[in-house]
Chain A
Amino acid sequence: MNQDLRREREAASFNPELLTHVLDGSPENTRRRREIENLILNDPDFQHEDLNFLTRSQRYEVAVRKSANMVKKMRDFGIADPEEIMWFKKVHLVNFVEPVGLNYSMFIPTLLNQGTTAQQEKWLLSSKGLQIIGTYAQTEMGHGTHLRGLETTATYDPETQEFILNSPTVTSIKWWPGGLGKTSNHAIVLAQLITKGKCYGLHAFIVPIREIGTHKPLPGITVGDIGPKFGYDEMDNGYLKMDNYRIPRENMLMKYAQVKPDGTYVKPVSNKLTYGTMVFVRSFLVGEAARSLSKACTIAIRYSAVRHQSEIKPGEPEPQILDFQTQQYKLFPLLATAYAFQFVGAYMKETYHRINEDIGHGDLSELPELHALTAGLKAFTSWTTNAAIEACRMACGGHGYSHCSGLPNIYVTFTPTCTFEGENTVMMLQTARFLMKSYDQVHSGKLVCGMVSYLNDLPTQRIQPQQVAVWPTVVDIDSPDSLTEAYKLRAARLVEIAAKNLQNEVIRRESKEVAWNLTSVDLVRASEAHCHYVVVKLFSEKLLKIQDKSIHTVLRNLCLLYCLYGISQKAGDFLQGSIMTESQITQVNQRIKELLTAVRPDAVALVDAFDFKDVTLGSVLGRYDGNVYEHLFEWAKKSPLNKAEVQKNCVFPPFEILHLNIKAERISELTPLRKLWNLLWLFQTLYLSNRFRRELGCSHSTQVFHFLNHLITVGHVHTYTKLEYCNTSLSHTST
């Protein structure tokens, strides 16, 4: 092990194993997770190749192979619990990207949620057993988050008892669904239902898209891959266009709404339940944000402990870059954020399960708040994480830019979270809608409960003649509880400002919607403040549940750092609301620096506690053993650019040109035999080069000779005039 990392680990004030148990939820969870990870790592079939050196097509192929392998293995190992499936995937796939994934994450759940018993009987078995591979096609080229805008139509034809599916415009082409491009043969398609000449809004239809056996697109179906993306190289995100494509009536998912054989539409009883899947996916994404950020922090902090640079004092050996205050200031608040989000992720999971049970009992009362909270937290955590991963990457300097660091991959895999499953700004505005509703309720004398209950205090505060005086200005910057109060006040204040501005605009404008738009920047601010408060609150509440003293101390420092850093970043809000004074802000900034020093000795142990396997991190810089530079060199040698260099005869065409020029330059000085050899070599290279053949406009050898003649006679003329000459002479010969 690298000496620096060894020293760091020995000096830690706590046992990271205990913290790992806290993060996993219990020692038993940690044990089971590792058991599953080891199943994979000890499996001879598990072979993790470095995807960085593969082309996109190759990466897709590897992913399909892994998916296929995984389905088999999970059966063999008897892994069925969703949590355990996630652990399994984390190591097996490394980054969760699997072309067959949508079959399990969207196709089957939608079938379960919205299909009738008969439909489930018909489709469930075959999709679970992968007789068919399904995907979920909702997003269109022209519309994403705004569902009502989708344009695909499904028109019912009572004569044949079929639906006719159409993509009437370019913008209506389904675009982005994962696994659609090359892998799936069925899709659940969301389309506007039209029957008896009337449009009834969006409904889900099971649509066969490829022929079983040949995998060819069915007649009326145009399907393909949408091309290269920022990341997700392994995934075949696809497009789907349908032209008068007919499916039987039974292919509409009819658990709630129905179309009778004669075309009569039967309305669903309640549609609140369709929230369920969205809420689940979004709460999962909060956990995903925590995991991605934890990975990035692990890499950046380990590397910062290994890398030495510059000097703090002249003449002394170069310090670890983690000893620079600026490096600590970059990384430790992010580490604290990673821990905060870990706890928020765990809370979201618990809450979801709890409320899901309530829903099972028919109690939907908590669903609206959960819906609003998951939307906002998904946006808040993904925005923060997005910027934080990038900051971790840049904290690794130039090496962070190389794929060897693993950070570019983590970033490009994570960043779509900001736009998929609900675009973040739209998500924030959904939360804002809930906040405004709650504000109005409080205003009309009703009490609100849950995370927004702080709004109940607003009316009493407003009665006071001097608003400022009622804020408890005594914020104890060393108490997480007191800081939570400060965040609560900030949230209350920004919610109130947004609500008042909204009211003013409503009075001035003719429409509520216009007023809403003209207040939306304020509304997003209010939602952000609300979410920030929730995160701070959950973190400080978590501290109360920690028994072990050493763990409590270190987590308390992180919690304080998280709270104070946020205040320092948003100092304007706290000052403007008179929640804190100028001198307190100065104290906050001072205290942050003290906390950086306090966290410093435990930094490596804190990332070790995330317990990522090297294979999951996929990073040379973040290796557990810290032997960075040696492995960096080994890694680079695998690059395909170097492989080509080894085979000398296989130089790339541009170098043929270059060497051609250099050789021709000296040709007059060569012996006749050498000249002849060179001539033959040139002839061979040129003749074989497709590109040259194309440029010559023919493949006839005499013309190649013609060209070579020129080369030899003008051998001492300037390199580029020659190239130019050859270009012009080529255009002559081809005309």
Chain B
Amino acid sequence: MEHEPGDWILSKAQQTGTKKIQARMGSPVHRVSLGDTWSTQVHPDIESERYIQSFNVERLINILDGGAQNTALRRKVESIIHSDPEFSLKDNYFMTQNERYEAAVKRKFHLQTIAKRQGWSEGSPELYYSYRTLSGDLAFSIHMVFLKSLKSLGSEEQIAKWAPLCNDFQIIATYAQTELGHGTYLQGLETEATYDAATQEFVVHSPTMTATKWWPGDLGRSATHALVQAQLICSGARQGMHAFIVPIRSLQDHTPLPGVTVGDIGPKMGFHHIDHGFLRLDHVRIPRENMLSRFAQVLPDGTYLKVGSLQINYLSMVVMRVDLLLGEIIPMLQKACVIAIRYSVIRHQSSLRPSGPEVKILDYQTQQHKLLPQLATVYAFHFLASNLLKFFHSSYSAILNRDFSHLPELHALSAGIKALVSDLCLQGTELCRRACGGHGYSKLSGLPSLVSRVTASCTYEGENTVLYLQTARFLVKNYLQVHGSLGSTSQMFLPKSTAYLTTPYQARCPAQKAADFLHAKLYTAAWAHVAARLIKDSAHHLQTLMQSGADWDEAWNQSTVLHLQAAKAHCYYISVKNFTETLDKLENEPAIQQVLKRLCDLYALHSILTNSGDFLHDGFLSGTQVDAVRTAYLNLLLLIRKDAILLTDAFDFMDHCLNSALGCYDGNVYERLFHWAQRSPTNTQGNPAYEKYIKPLLQSWRSKL
């Protein structure tokens, strides 16, 4: 296309715009926007949303960042990243899988260069923020997982040897756990590492087709080394899963080493920039020192020595899950909310009064009902994950010193929360996408990429159903500890997250009217009631089945649907309670506390309404009370509607990072959509299909006439 669409669009924007952006340095508008030359004005429809500020957005940004100093640091990093054209993501949507991969590798190396220059070390907040601002569109993320696993599972000598090589990218490493035939169920993995005392080597081998390692990121084309999870066999005995460092590609010319078959697993729904790979090992020999040995080791003569609990293997998974929440999953829903809500104040459709003007679609109750609960949810999850991270840090150092007392609770919490957060983030992101109508289907909206990426999080790092059931196991165990076999209640000490199992049973909710449901204590207690009841039911069901002759395992499988519901309710309770506790700490910020309180209320009431059957079931809520919840909920929608744009602005994503034609800060949706479409290769590269097929088709009929 040769024509320049900018000219006539600009003139149109000048007609409709009312106020110019204050384009002075340092103003928020200037900071976050793409600064397109044709976009000199903020769309009046979005500007009017920012006109009356019921709270200080900047303060909320600081709170979300965990302090003003963090905000400043993040912005510094963002300005460095986005002033560098090498980091531009704008052509992502037009690239093939190969091109995406290539660009991600290039960006990664470029980031390393910048990090070196700026003195950002591995694990520093600066690198964390650069990952955020580049939407993780970088290669070698599993390289970092390798490093983390090494640090938690490796001995001091091993860390000293391998960590510098990794940090300097003298090797590229990956973490190979999942196999073709097995994923979340670790004990089922088939890869074997057999110790050969004669040569003091492990022989690592894939005995079957299904033992082929499948899915590890960075494995397909990049990695030179893999941390392989394999069944350890020494002195003839199987000792379970252990981690081994296996060199897989030549450091000279990158070809696979002898005995190694490695490649890319092909196209996927998302993650096009990552080379997920397969790996088959044919009796590959590695030195004895390559088994990570902080918690277990094999002596030269083949003696197996355990130095810790078996549970420790879970630790690297817990680390991963906790990191994923804030680093990967929650930002997806945040971005989706920003895009969908901003678009919903620009898009006008139909009118609310006959012959009245067309209204913003965000003024429709149904649109608010779609989007605002997602906004509330993502705020709830942000605070939930932040506090889980705190709990994790306090437990982690203890665990490294072999104090495992917090591990069961940490494991159960991280499993259930990961499952709930990824489930609801996926649902929410998809809802946001569809709430943008047809334009949400265009990749230029940014939403399809978010959906296809967040959806992976429901199955990776533990399939969600399996994770809920792990939490349920912990809950049933706790319940039985307190209540013995049946009935009798003992005052056992319970972990903080399950302490509510000992609180006295409340038969009815005391609420009288809609306004009563805006009390945090009231709805937290309601969720506690439902969670406790479902845990009780599932435990009793299990016991009943066992009393009628089933063994534990059979009984467990026959009651898993109940356990699933119980675990979900528990996670809802935890998230609601956590949100209310976060609010309590915001006493010094009354305006922000008020607006967040509304979101907390909305989150809690929305979750009650979508699960109303559980609340009505034993008469805890009456039908009238559920109606009152609905009334309170609908009223909240109107209140939050007023602050919706500011609440999304508070996530403080730069336009570069959103990479969405619908979601930019300035609201110039349609102009941007038109501009971006022009860049599509389908427009820039002619139409070979015309000469090849369309023309002959048109002419074949003409010749017959």
Contacts and interface: CB of A to CB of B under 8 A. Distances in A.
A236 B221 CA distance: 33
Given A64-B689, A521-B634, A514 B353 contact: yes
B180 A404 contact: no
Contacts of B575: none
Most chain B C-beta atoms within 10 Å of own C-beta, residue among A425, A514, A569, A655? A425
A641 B254 contact: no
Interface in B40-85: none
A408 B456 CA distance: 11
A403 B93 contact: no
B278 A570 contact: no
Contact of B350 (A67, A146, A575, A720): A146
A312 B185 CA distance: 12
Given A313-B554, A642-B263, A724-B113, A143 B674 contact: no
A146 B349 contact: yes
Interface in B524-556: 551, 553-554
A144 B358 CA distance: 13
B617 A571 contact: yes
Chain B interface helix/strand/loop/mixed: helix
B459 A394 contact: yes
B637 to A, nearest CB: 8
Interface in B193-229: 209-210, 212, 214-215, 220-221
A239 B677 contact: yes
A632 B187 CA distance: 23
Interface in B254-274: 254-255, 263-270
Contact of B459 (A225, A312, A400, A648): A400
A568 B188 CA distance: 34
Nearest to A225: B682
B305 interface: no
Interface stretch (B101-109, B293-301, B504-512): B101-109
Nearest to B563: A326
B184 interface: yes
A2 interface: no
Interface string A381-409: 00000100010011001101111100010
Interface in A497-537: 511, 513-514, 517-521, 524
Given A141-B670, A571-B613, A326 B564 contact: yes
Contacts of B705: 129, 131
B145 to A, nearest CB: 16
A111 interface: no
Interface string A203-215: 0000000001001
Interface string B585-626: 000000000000000000000000101111111110001001
Interface string B115-151: 0110000000000000000000001000000000000
A566 to B, nearest CB: 12
Nearest to A655: B254
B263 A571 contact: no
Interface stretch (A166-174, A285-293, A484-492): A166-174
A542 interface: no
Contacts of A61: 688-689, 692-693
Contact of B448 (A52, A230, A398): A230
A142 B360 CA distance: 12
A227 B448 contact: no
Contacts of A416: 438, 441
B102 A652 contact: yes
Interface string A652-673: 1111011101100100000000
B671 interface: yes
Interface in A117-148: 129-133, 139, 141-146, 148
B102 A314 contact: no
B616 A182 contact: no
B31 interface: no
B459 A401 contact: yes
Contacts of B497: none
Given A640-B98, A720-B113, A645 B612 contact: no
Contacts of B551: 313
Interface in B421-467: 426, 430, 433-434, 437-438, 440-444, 448, 451-452, 455-456, 458-460, 463-465
A446 interface: no
Interface string B348-377: 111111101010000111110110000000
B599 to A, nearest CB: 18
Most buried by A among B101, B618, B673: B673
B685 A57 contact: yes
A326 B698 contact: no
B682 A633 contact: no
Interface in A358-396: 386, 390, 393-394
The winner among B169, B209, B619, B687 for most chain A CB atoms within 10 A is B687
A310 B465 CA distance: 13
Nearest to A128: B701
Contact of A637 (B116, B251, B263): B263
A229 B442 contact: yes
Contact of A227 (B212, B444, B451): B444
A169 B12 contact: yes
A639 B465 CA distance: 31
A725 B291 CA distance: 38
A408 B452 contact: yes
Contacts of B351: 513
A651 interface: yes
B112 interface: yes
B266 A638 contact: yes
Contacts of B627: 576
Contact of B615 (A524, A572, A645, A721): A572
A109 interface: no
Contacts of A398: 178, 183, 214-215, 459-460
A297 B617 CA distance: 31
A329 interface: yes
Contacts of A518: 365, 634
A170 B683 contact: no
B682 A182 contact: yes
A505 B221 CA distance: 63
A307 B181 contact: yes
A308 interface: yes
B358 A149 contact: yes
A576 to B, nearest CB: 4
Instruction: Point out which of A401, A408, A420 has the most chain B C-beta atoms below 10 A from its C-beta.
Output: A401
A228 B441 CA distance: 9
A89 interface: no
B549 to A, nearest CB: 14
A698 interface: no
The 5 closest A-B pairs by CB, nearest first: A571-B613, A572-B612, A654-B105, A230-B448, A641-B264
6 contacts: A57-B682, A148-B350, A576-B623, A636-B278, A648-B253, A661-B169
Given A141-B673, A228-B442, A310-B188, 6 more contacts: A212-B698, A215-B690, A226-B444, A311-B553, A416-B438, A517-B363
Interface of B: 1, 3, 5, 9, 12, 93-94, 96-98, 101-102, 105-106, 109, 112-113, 116-117, 139, 168-170, 172, 178, 180-185, 187-188, 209-210, 212, 214-215, 220-221, 251-255, 263-270, 275, 278, 347-354, 356, 358, 363-367, 369-370, 426, 430, 433-434, 437-438, 440-444, 448, 451-452, 455-456, 458-460, 463-465, 469, 551, 553-554, 557-561, 564, 609, 611-619, 623, 626-627, 634, 670-671, 673-674, 676-683, 685, 687-690, 692-698, 701-702, 704-705
Interface of A: 52-53, 55-57, 60-61, 64-65, 67-68, 71, 129-133, 139, 141-146, 148-149, 169-171, 173, 175-176, 181-183, 212, 215, 222, 224-231, 236, 239, 307-314, 318, 323-327, 329-330, 386, 390, 393-394, 397-398, 400-404, 408, 412, 415-416, 418-420, 423-425, 429, 511, 513-514, 517-521, 524, 568-578, 582, 585, 589, 592-593, 629-630, 632-633, 635-642, 644-645, 648, 651-655, 657-659, 661-662, 665, 718-721, 723-724, 727
